[in-house]
């Protein structure tokens, strides 16, 4: 018989029996197991049935013992003598209830291995029979693996004392930092003051109509974080190539007109400025991925690999949401966008990194007399607003040829901040340098 047919999926009957037996003997064991295990973590169908009965009893705050479990399992169909005997024998199979955490971890480990095997088989099947492209299969594969890793995270209820200590540590770091920020400085002082920088675990949405300079704004921040703060930045550009991004960064750093650079109309002084700008940028920890078709699962896999190589990442930038693809079969684009933003929010939390997600606004702004963007203008999904910790709008008055608009006069609108104030910050758009700049310290309410 071929070896692959004889293979038995990873499991530990002894650990499963020990956990179930310990639950029959101790209420504390019931609570410990109910918190960390799920029905599918058990390999044996018999053990799954016993676990289901125990979990149901625990959920309605009833005792878990031989009598109550037998009664629960026997609802509808009486248990056989052998089944009752097996339940009774479980209590004899427990070496020590004090080792319950160890038994639980053995079951979880075997369950993870079975899920990995199942995921690998599903990926192989897609490769053989699916009509999807390799890129789409890669996205699905990344999502499958990421979900297994996510399910493996062991976070539980902690005493308030731990949360207080972590909060105090954040405040202490902010007090010791030169700029008094808890998060990553963006290079926009007034915005940093309101947001206290970009915080780890945050999903920051930067939205605007096409042509507002969202990519340039992201590059302005990326350059500051990497060059001034010396923190690694990962940038996923689904629209522009890495060559285009490099050109923009060079022109912005050198103060050279980007249109002249693209057409080759540069002076000798421009070349000197570009050479000078190259020095700090070429050593900056900015990492660019310009894959055109990519989903959140593949992105997160790449970020995790980068994190293993360079350590903590200061900022992740995604340009932009509407070009991303989800995984699996989803009924409509709105649900797909919702799935993507939810995945990115979870990823920001799991990876402990701020994720800046660029997004387009709907045409609703152009139909109103007042062109100032609102949260309802976020394109395709209310889930964007729901999942985002911070929502920033870029608004340029001269974009709409508003009467009396000063050339370049613009605003960064903090439309939402989950843990702080909203507001508007005046900036100037330097189109020839593709750069946003704060002009003064005047702020007005949103």
What domains are defined for the chain? 3-129 (1.10.860.10), 182-444 (3.40.50.300)
Once rounded to an integer, what is the mean pLDDT over residues 205-217?
87
pLDDT one-digit tens code per residue, 352-407: 899 999 988 877 777 777 778 888 777 666 678 788 899 999 888 777 765 556 77
Residue 312 bears catalytic tag: no
CA–CA gap between residue 140 and residue 136 (Å, rounded): 6
Which one of 83, 109, 136, 239 is the catalytic residue? Answer: 239
Helices within 62-99 (DSSP H only) = 66-73, 81-90
The more confidently predicted of residues 113 and 435 is 113
CA–CA gap between residue 370 and residue 373 (Å, rounded): 8
> Do 390 and 205 contact (CB within 8 A), yes or no?
yes
> Do 343 and 142 contact (CB within 8 A), yes or no?
no
- β pairing state of 435-444 and 423-430: antiparallel
CA–CA gap between residue 280 and residue 300 (Å, rounded): 28
Residue 185: both structure tokens together: 């400085």
Look up residue 361 and give its DSSP letter: B
Cross-strand partners of 395: 411
Cross-strand partners of 297: none
> Do 236 and 298 contact (CB within 8 A), yes or no?
no
pTM higher than the cut 0.85: no
**Which residue is listed with tokens 């890495």?**
242
CA–CA gap between residue 276 and residue 129 (Å, rounded): 53
CA–CA gap between residue 115 and residue 136 (Å, rounded): 21
pLDDT one-digit tens code per residue, 408-429: 788 899 989 988 888 888 888 8
């Amino acid at each position: 018989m071929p070896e692959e047919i004889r293979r038995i999926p990873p499991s530990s009957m002894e650990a499963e029996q020990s956990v179930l037996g310990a639950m029959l003997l101790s209420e504390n064991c019931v609570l410990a197991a109910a918190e960390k295990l799920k029905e599918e973590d058990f390999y044996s169908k018999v053990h799954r049935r016993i676990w289901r009965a125990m979990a149901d009893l625990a959920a309605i705050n009833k005792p878990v013992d031989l009598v109550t479990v037998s009664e629960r399992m026997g609802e509808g169909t009486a248990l056989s003598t052998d089944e009752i005997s097996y339940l009774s024998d479980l209590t004899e199979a427990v070496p020590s209830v004090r080792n319950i955490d160890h038994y639980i971890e053995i079951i979880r480990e075997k369950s993870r291995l079975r899920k990995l095997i199942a995921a690998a088989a599903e990926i192989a099947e897609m490769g053989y029979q699916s009509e999807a492209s390799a890129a789409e299969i890669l996205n699905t594969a990344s999502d499958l693996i990421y979900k297994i890793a996510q399910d493996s995270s062991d976070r539980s209820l902690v005493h308030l004392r731990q949360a207080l200590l972590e909060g105090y540590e954040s405040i202490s770091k902010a007090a010791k930092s030169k700029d008094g920020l808890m998060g990553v400085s963006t290079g926009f002082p007034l915005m940093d003051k309101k947001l206290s920088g970009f915080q780890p675990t945050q999903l920051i949405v930067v939205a605007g109509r096409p042509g507002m300079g969202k990519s340039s704004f992201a590059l302005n921040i990326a350059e500051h974080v990497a060059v001034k703060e010396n923190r690694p930045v990962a940038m996923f550009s689904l629209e522009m190539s890495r060559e285009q991004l490099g050109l923009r960064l060079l022109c912005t750093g050198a103060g050279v007109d980007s249109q002249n650079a693209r057409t080759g109309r540069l002076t000798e002084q421009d070349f000197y400025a570009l050479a000078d700008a190259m020095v700090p940028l070429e050593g900056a920890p900015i990492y660019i991925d310009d894959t055109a078709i990519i989903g959140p699962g593949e992105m997160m896999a790449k970020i995790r690999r980068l994190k293993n190589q360079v350590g903590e990442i200061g900022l992740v930038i995604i340009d932009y949401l509407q070009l991303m693809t989800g995984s699996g079969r989803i009924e409509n684009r709105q649900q797909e966008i919702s799935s993507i933003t939810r995945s990115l929010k979870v990823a920001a939390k799991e990876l402990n990194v701020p994720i800046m997600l660029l997004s387009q606004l709907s045409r609703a702004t152009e139909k109103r007399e007042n062109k100032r963007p609102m949260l309802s203008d976020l394109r395709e999904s209310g889930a964007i607003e729901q999942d985002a910790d911070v929502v920033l709008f870029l608004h340029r008055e001269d974009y709409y040829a508003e009467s009396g608009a000063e050339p370049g006069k613009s605003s960064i609108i903090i439309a939402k901040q989950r843990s702080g104030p909203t507001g508007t910050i005046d900036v100037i758009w330097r189109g020839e340098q593709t750069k946003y700049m704060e002009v003064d310290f005047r702020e007005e309410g949103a």
